[in-house]
């Protein structure tokens, strides 16, 4: 998500933080775990105050470390405040990204899945490094959560396929261990095109530079399809994740689904317009294009949300004065987006589950403050 500022680079954003761009180049964005959870309306509406009670109920349940300490991890206290209300929720835990892998079986994924399992329906993981795919599938297996995972391979355009192959081999091992029962699809590439055209001083994802990049990515997509066929999992959907404005049409022709990041905040809309803008942008830029292709890939909003806080005053708003990073404005976005999108069948992952202190430490600005709950 940290790259989304440049997603709208053709739009006049006066207060765009200049330090965002290098983040994209280092490829931090990629390894995002999107948890298609369904968290309570009640919890959301009372947002901050309920976070402590839900996390304490999680940690007071049996085997609170999250590891399998003898008792049955699938038996745990369910928080009565949790009911289905989101299609999906994104989650980017600390330690899930190279080179700072620090995510292990005792880490928060267990508690998160236990906490949200009563209402969780699916999960997507955007990269396969740091063992995160195995950790998520193991946690689902142990907790018997009814979840589907979209696993991911975060492809780096400039590394000669090293990251792609490392993650492909990891995903192969994971599928051999856990099977595909809980896997909804394999996402090859996350903001690959945004990174590729930006690095090559271009802007049009469908221009000649974009199409050159798309051909590179197609080799990886085709390779993944072939590896899955060899594993007798040729039916598994293969997709692509991209910044909303950067889907290449050739890439969409090669995939079964697309995950699109659409952030009204970075487009500088007012919070009152944010829900309608998000939906309309996604519809016009992604859904219409996808539906015009012979394979009609299914499109999802991979990330959308509203920040509640900022650590630099200059980043308090991205554009229009009403679009401040406040809890009240997150509530406005929730009130105007979630139920309407649920009703009209828009598939979205709300960004994100918790405030992430590590992002604030690393990037500042609004990066750490998108949580529905305070940092764990």
Ligand X SMILES: *[C@@H]1O[C@H](CO)[C@@H](O)[C@H](O)[C@H]1NC(C)=O
Q: How far is the CB of 237 from ligand X (least distance, A)?
A: 20
Q: Which positions from 133 through 172 interact with ligand X, judged by CB under 6 A?
A: 134-135, 138, 160-161
Nearer to ligand X by C-beta: 337 or 354?
A: 337
Q: Report which residue's Cβ sits closest to ligand X.
A: 340
Nearer to ligand X by C-beta: 52 or 212?
A: 212
Q: Is there binding between residue 205 and ligand X (CB under 6 A)?
A: yes
Contacts of 357 (CB under 8 A, 6+ apart): 94, 368, 375
Nearer to ligand X by C-beta: 271 or 315?
A: 271
Report d(CA 213, CA 217) in Å as an integer.
6
Nearer to ligand X by C-beta: 54 or 251?
A: 251
Q: Is there binding between residue 300 and ligand X (CB under 6 A)?
A: no
Nearer to ligand X by C-beta: 2 or 174?
A: 174
Segment contacting ligand X by CB under 6 A, of 88-96, 229-237, 272-280, 301-309: 272-280
Segment contacting ligand X by CB under 6 A, of 52-60, 240-248, 351-359, 364-372: 240-248
Q: Which of 247, 300, 369, 370 binds ligand X (CB under 6 A)?
A: 247
Counting residues that bind ligand X (by CB under 6 A) gives 23
Q: How far is the CB of 223 from ligand X (least distance, A)?
A: 11
Closest Cα to residue 224, out of 254, 248, 182, 181? 254
- Tell me the CA distances in angstroms from 355 to 8, 328, 338, 358, one per residue in order: 24, 16, 19, 9
Binding mask 83-122 for ligand X (x = CB under 6 A): ----------------------x-----------------
Q: Which of 47, 84, 199, 276 binds ligand X (CB under 6 A)?
A: 276
Q: How far is the CB of 211 from ligand X (least distance, A)?
A: 10
Nearer to ligand X by C-beta: 266 or 279?
A: 279
Q: Is there binding between residue 275 and ligand X (CB under 6 A)?
A: yes
Q: Which of 200, 249, 270, 272 binds ligand X (CB under 6 A)?
A: 249
Q: Is there binding between residue 239 and ligand X (CB under 6 A)?
A: no
Segment contacting ligand X by CB under 6 A, of 28-36, 145-153, 194-202, 242-250: 242-250
Q: Which of 41, 199, 289, 375 binds ligand X (CB under 6 A)?
A: 289
Q: How far is the CB of 193 from ligand X (least distance, A)?
A: 8
Q: Is there binding between residue 340 and ligand X (CB under 6 A)?
A: yes
Helices 208-230 and 192-199: angle between axes, nearest 10 degrees: 140
Q: How far is the CB of 275 from ligand X (least distance, A)?
A: 4
Closest Cα to residue 256, out of 345, 204, 183, 196? 183
Q: Is there binding between residue 331 and ligand X (CB under 6 A)?
A: no
Q: How far is the CB of 311 from ligand X (least distance, A)?
A: 29
Residue 80: exposed, middle, or buried by beta-carbon count in 10 A (0-12, 13-18, 19+)? exposed
Binding interface with ligand X (CB under 6 A): 105, 131, 134-135, 138, 160-161, 205-206, 245-247, 249, 275-276, 279, 285, 289, 337, 340-341, 344, 346
């Amino acid at each position: 998500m940290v790259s989304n500022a440049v997603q709208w680079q053709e739009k006049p954003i006066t207060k765009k933080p200049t330090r965002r761009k290098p983040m994209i180049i280092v490829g931090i964005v990629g390894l995002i775990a999107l948890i298609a959870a369904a968290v309570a309306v009640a919890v959301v509406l009372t947002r901050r105050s309920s976070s402590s009670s839900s996390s304490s109920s999680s940690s007071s349940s049996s085997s609170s470390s999250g590891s399998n300490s003898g008792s049955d991890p699938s038996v745990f206290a369910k928080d009565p405040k949790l009911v289905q209300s989101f299609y999906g929720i994104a989650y980017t835990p600390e330690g899930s990204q190279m080179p700072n892998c620090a995510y292990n079986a005792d880490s928060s994924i267990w508690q998160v899945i236990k906490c949200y399992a009563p209402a969780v329906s699916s999960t997507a993981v955007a990269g396969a490094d740091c063992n995160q795919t195995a950790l998520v599938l193991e946690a689902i297996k142990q907790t018997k959560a009814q979840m589907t995972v979209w696993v991911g391979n975060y492809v780096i355009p400039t590394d000669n396929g090293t990251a792609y192959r490392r993650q492909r081999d990891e995903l192969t091992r994971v599928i051999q261990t856990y099977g595909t029962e809980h896997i909804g699809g394999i996402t090859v590439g996350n903001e690959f095109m945004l990174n590729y055209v930006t690095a090559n001083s271009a802007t049009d994802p469908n221009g000649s530079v974009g199409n050159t990049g798309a051909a590179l990515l197609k080799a990886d997509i085709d390779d993944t399809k072939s590896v899955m066929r060899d594993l007798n999992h040729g039916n598994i959907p293969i997709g692509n994740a991209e910044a909303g404005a950067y889907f290449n049409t050739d890439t969409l022709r090669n995939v079964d689904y697309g995950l699109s990041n659409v952030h009204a905040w970075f487009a500088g809309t007012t919070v009152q317009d944010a829900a309608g803008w998000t939906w309309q942008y996604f519809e016009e830029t992604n859904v219409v294009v996808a539906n015009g292709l012979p394979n009609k890939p299914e499109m999802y909003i991979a990330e959308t949300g509203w920040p509640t806080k900022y650590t630099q005053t200059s980043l308090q708003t991205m554009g229009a004065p009403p679009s401040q990073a406040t809890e009240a404005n997150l509530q406005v976005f929730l009130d105007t987006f979630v139920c309407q999108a649920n009703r009209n069948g828009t598939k979205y992952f709300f960004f994100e589950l918790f405030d992430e202190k590590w992002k604030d430490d690393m990037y500042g600005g609004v990066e750490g403050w998108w949580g529905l709950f305070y940092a764990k």
